[in-house]
Structure 1
Amino acid sequence: MIVIPAIDIKGGRCVRLIQGAMDSETVFSEDPVAMAQQWESQGAERLHLVDLDGAVSGATVHYDLIERIIKAVKIPVQVGGGIRSLNRIEHYLSAGAAAVILGTAALQNEPLVKEATRKFPRRIIAGIDSKKGRVAVRGWTEVHPEEAATLAVRMEEAGVAALILTDIEKDGMLAGPNIGLFREIGMQVEIPIIASGGVTTLPQIQQLAEIPGVEGAIVGKALYTGALSLPKALAALRGEEA
Structure 2
Amino acid sequence: MSFEKDKMLIMPAVDIKGGKCVQLVQGKPGSEQVVIENPEKVAGRWESLGSEVLHIIDLDGAIDNNTNLPVIKKILKEVSIPIQLGGGIRTVEYAKTLLDLDIERLIIGTMGITNPDTITELSNEYGSERVMISLDSKDSKVVIKGWQEQIDKTPAELSLEFKNHGAGSILFTNVDVEGLLGGFYIDPVLNLVESVDIPIVYSGGISSIDDIKKLSTTGAQGVVIGSALYKEKIDLKEALKYQ
Distance 1:216 1:13 in 2: 25
Identity of aligned residues (%): 35
Larger relative contact order (CA 8 Å, sep ≥ 6): 2
**Contact 1:136 1:143 (8 Å CA) reproduced:** yes
- 2:130 aligned with 1:123, yes or no? yes
- 2:92 aligned with 1:86, yes or no? yes
**Which segments of structure 1 move beyond 2 Å, counting only runs of 4 or more?**
none
**Contact 1:28 1:224 (8 Å CA) reproduced:** no
Distance 2:88 2:197 in 1: 27
Tell me the alpha carbon deviations over residues 117-150 of structure 1, each in whole angstroms, 9 at most, x when there is no partner: 1111110001111001111111112222222211
**Contact 2:34 2:230 (8 Å CA) reproduced:** no
Structure 2 unaligned spans of 5+: 1-7
Distance 2:111 2:156 in 1: 16
Q: Which amino acid aligns with 2:41?
A: A
- 2:181 aligned with 1:136, yes or no? no
**Contact 1:42 1:231 (8 Å CA) reproduced:** yes
**Contact 1:162 1:191 (8 Å CA) reproduced:** yes
Distance 1:102 1:61 in 2: 15
Question: Residue 29 of structure 2 aligns to a residue in which SS?
Answer: strand
The equivalent position to 2:63 in structure 1, one of 52, 56, 75, is: 56
Question: Residue 106 of structure 2 aligns to a residue in which SS?
Answer: strand
Aligned to 2:4: none
Q: Which amino acid aligns with 1:116?
A: L
TM-score w.r.t. length of structure 2: 0.93
Aligned to 1:189: 196
Tell me the alpha carbon deviations over residues 60-117 of structure 1, each in whole angstroms, 9 at most, x when there is no partner: 5111111111121000000100112221111111112101100111211111111111
Cα distance change, pair 155–60 in 1 and its aligned pair in 2 (3 A): farther
- 2:203 aligned with 1:237, yes or no? no
Distance 2:112 2:150 in 1: 14
TM-score w.r.t. length of structure 1: 0.93
Paired residues, number: 235
**Contact 2:216 2:242 (8 Å CA) reproduced:** no
Structure 1 unaligned spans of 5+: none
Question: Residue 176 of structure 1 aligns to a residue in which SS?
Answer: coil
Question: Residue 53 of structure 1 aligns to a residue in which SS?
Answer: helix
